């Protein structure tokens, strides 16, 4: 049988000496990271713009895993991606590309694959765009009966300001960012004046509206899911342990926790997996996570970030249909950690995602 030709679509984080894309000044909470996942000396502009892109080590580890299934053709998702895809026409594309421009950036590679009729792993363009837009995702969760915190969109020039009845404290987030860009401790607001000030900062810094969300004070979890339809399965649940944060820190797994306090030398011991959970709560988290995954039409894999309200009821904060996957077990990365807890090593995790997509297309591994 002919060997499977696997295209591998990714965006690689620029090297430290790359030219910044713009000379615009950056706010304090978007300073360069000291996390091992990002070169400490990367300029602030590059760090922030490319925070979601992958390290060479991650790209190499995924490529090595995919080689178990066939020939791997690297296809960096740069402006030449459409031409490379048309020229190579691989049997399938393994997609982790986060994209570059605009609120639909994660949808671009899958859309181009569809255009050329090339199968690809993970969610389709519609799902990827919906998941990145936190308000649209929450509208769908609500319509499908998935609990998600109260919210209002502010700063889009159309909607009202914060209603007087809105529950405080609140978390103010840029509408379509990830990796906690814009979600530093400043995002936590206890008064309408703080909310208004933070919304103005978000609009000014990101040039996009802000989602103001009711702050949920309970425990936080993230739930990794593999597979499709009835056979989608939940991996062991990860709890975010706020007692691992520096004394006095707010209970947020935000910018500081991901990019400043967690270093390669001293990783925060912030994940507990499997989380210590009574069976009813574990079941409630798993069913809400699966409901969110299916509501948005996720495929092959995804990670659902969840938090409990004051009464202990799980709510979905957001869903990541292209989850981060650092290969080094010493680095904090939820999905590989959950997989390891289930006895699935890194290579097997990557191959399981590929096999799941192959099965969807009726192509056997
Ligand atoms: N409504 C909320 N109540 C309490 N904490 C919140 C709320 N929204 C966000 N947070 C905190 O901020 C963190 C980041 O928020 P969120 O997951 O929405 O952002 P993100 O940038 O998309 O994250 P990721 O890094 O997973 O892509 C959460 O993990 C949580 O700790
Ligand atoms: Mg999150």
Residue 15: what pLDDT? 75
Q: Is 278 left (phi over 0), alpha (psi -120 to 50) or beta?
A: beta
Question: Could you tell me the distance, in angstroms and rounded to a whole number, from the CA of residue 331 to the centre of ligand 1?
Answer: 20
- Taken as a whole, the chain contains a residue count of 365
Residue 42: what pLDDT? 53
Nearest atom of ligand 1 to the alpha carbon of 315: 1
Instruction: pLDDT band for 110, please (50, 70, 90 cuts).
Output: very high
**CA pair distance 263, 299, nearest whole angstrom:** 32
- Residue extents of the structural domains in the chain: 4-121, 150-214, 220-360
Report the CATH fold assignment for 150-214.
Answer: Dna Ligase; domain 1 (3.30.1490)
Torsion sign over Cα 212, 122, 82, 70: positive
More confident residue, 253 or 31: 253
β-pairing, 70-76 vs 4-10, is parallel
Residue 128: what pLDDT? 98
Residue 157: what pLDDT? 75
Shortest-distance Cα residue to atom 26 of ligand 1: 179
Instruction: pLDDT band for 160, please (50, 70, 90 cuts).
Output: low
Residue 17: what pLDDT? 57
* Other residues' Cβ atoms within 10 Å of the Cβ of residue 290: 18
For the chain, state the CA radius of gyration. 20
Nearest atom of ligand 1 to the alpha carbon of 251: 31
Instruction: pLDDT band for 19, please (50, 70, 90 cuts).
Output: low
Whether 238 has a pLDDT exceeding 80, the answer reads yes
- Please tell me the least confidently modeled range out of 80-84, 253-257, 293-297, 347-351: 253-257
Question: Could you tell me the distance, in angstroms and rounded to a whole number, from the CA of residue 174 to the centre of ligand 2?
Answer: 12
Instruction: pLDDT band for 34, please (50, 70, 90 cuts).
Output: very low
- Region 151-158 average pLDDT: 86
- Using alpha carbons, select from 212, 223, 149, 150 the residue that is nearest to residue 183: 212
Residue 161: what pLDDT? 81
Mean pLDDT of the chain: 90
Instruction: pLDDT band for 20, please (50, 70, 90 cuts).
Output: very low
- Region 71-85 average pLDDT: 97
Residue 185: what pLDDT? 92
Dihedral Cα 96, 323, 204, 173, nearest 10 deg: 160
CATH number of 220-360: 3.30.470.20
Q: What confidence tens digit (pLDDT) does each residue in 37-70 have?
A: 444 445 554 566 688 889 999 999 999 999 999 9
Whether 179 has a pLDDT exceeding 60, the answer reads yes
Pocket test for ligand 1, best of 253, 303, 320 (most atoms within 8 A of CB): 253
Question: Could you tell me the distance, in angstroms and rounded to a whole number, from the CA of residue 310 to the centre of ligand 1?
Answer: 17
Pocket test for ligand 1, best of 33, 137, 183 (most atoms within 8 A of CB): 183
Q: What is the share, in percent, of the chain residues with pLDDT greater than 90?
A: 75
Residue 172: what pLDDT? 96
Question: Could you tell me the distance, in angstroms and rounded to a whole number, from the CA of residue 182 to the centre of ligand 2?
Answer: 12
**CA pair distance 190, 197, nearest whole angstrom:** 12
pTM over the 0.85 mark: yes
Pocket test for ligand 1, best of 174, 305, 306 (most atoms within 8 A of CB): 305
Residue 69: what pLDDT? 97
Residue 188: what pLDDT? 97
Residue 16: what pLDDT? 65
Whether 1 has a pLDDT exceeding 90, the answer reads no
Question: Could you tell me the distance, in angstroms and rounded to a whole number, from the CA of residue 354 to the centre of ligand 1?
Answer: 28
**φ, ψ for residue 287, nearest 5 deg:** -70, -35
Question: Could you tell me the distance, in angstroms and rounded to a whole number, from the CA of residue 170 to the centre of ligand 1?
Answer: 12
Question: Could you tell me the distance, in angstroms and rounded to a whole number, from the CA of residue 318 to the centre of ligand 2?
Answer: 6
Pocket of ligand 1 (CB under 6 A): 149, 171, 173, 177-180, 183, 213-216, 220, 252-254, 305, 307, 317-318, 320
Nearest atom of ligand 1 to the alpha carbon of 215: 3
Nearest atom of ligand 1 to the alpha carbon of 180: 21
**CA pair distance 256, 245, nearest whole angstrom:** 9
Shortest-distance Cα residue to atom 1 of ligand 1: 215
β-pairing, 4-10 vs 92-95, is parallel
């Amino acid at each position: 049988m002919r060997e499977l030709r696997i295209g591998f679509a990714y965006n690689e984080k620029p090297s430290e000496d790359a030219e910044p894309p713009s000379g615009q000044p950056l706010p304090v909470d978007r300073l360069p990271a000291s996390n091992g996942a990002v070169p400490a000396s990367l300029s602030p502009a590059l760090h922030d713009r490319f925070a979601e892109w992958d390290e060479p080590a991650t790209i190499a580890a995924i490529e090595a895993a995919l080689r178990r299934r066939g020939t791997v053709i690297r296809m960096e998702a740069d402006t030449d991606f459409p031409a490379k895809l048309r020229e190579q026409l691989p049997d399938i594309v393994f997609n982790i590309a986060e994209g570059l421009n605009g609120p639909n950036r994660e949808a671009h590679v899958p859309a181009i694959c569809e255009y050329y009729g090339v199968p690809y792993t993970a969610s389709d363009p519609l799902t990827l765009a919906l998941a990145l837009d936190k308000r649209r995702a929450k509208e769908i969760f609500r319509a499908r009966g998935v609990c998600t915190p109260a919210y209002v969109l502010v700063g889009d020039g159309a909607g009202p300001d914060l209603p007087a009845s809105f529950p405080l404290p609140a978390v103010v987030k840029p509408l379509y960012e990830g990796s906690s860009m814009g979600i530093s401790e400043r995002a936590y607001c206890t008064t309408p004046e703080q909310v208004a000030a933070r919304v103005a900062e978000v609009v000014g810094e990101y040039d996009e509206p802000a989602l103001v969300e009711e702050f949920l004070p309970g425990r936080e979890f993230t739930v990794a899911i593999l597979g499709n339809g009835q056979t989608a399965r939940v991996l062991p649940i990860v709890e975010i342990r706020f007692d691992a944060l520096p004394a006095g820190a707010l209970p947020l797994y935000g910018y500081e926790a991901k990019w400043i306090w967690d270093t390669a030398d001293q990783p925060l011991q912030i994940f507990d997996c499997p989380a210590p959970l009574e069976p009813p709560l574990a079941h409630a988290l798993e069913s809400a996570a699966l409901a969110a995954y299916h509501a948005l039409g996720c495929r092959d894999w995804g990670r659902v970030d969840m938090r409990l309200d004051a009464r202990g009821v799980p709510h979905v904060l957001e869903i990541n249909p292209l989850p981060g996957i650092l290969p080094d077990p010493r680095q904090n990365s939820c999905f590989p950690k959950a997989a390891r807890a289930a006895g699935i090593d890194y290579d097997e995790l990557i191959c399981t995602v590929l096999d799941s997509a192959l099965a969807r297309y009726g192509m056997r591994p």
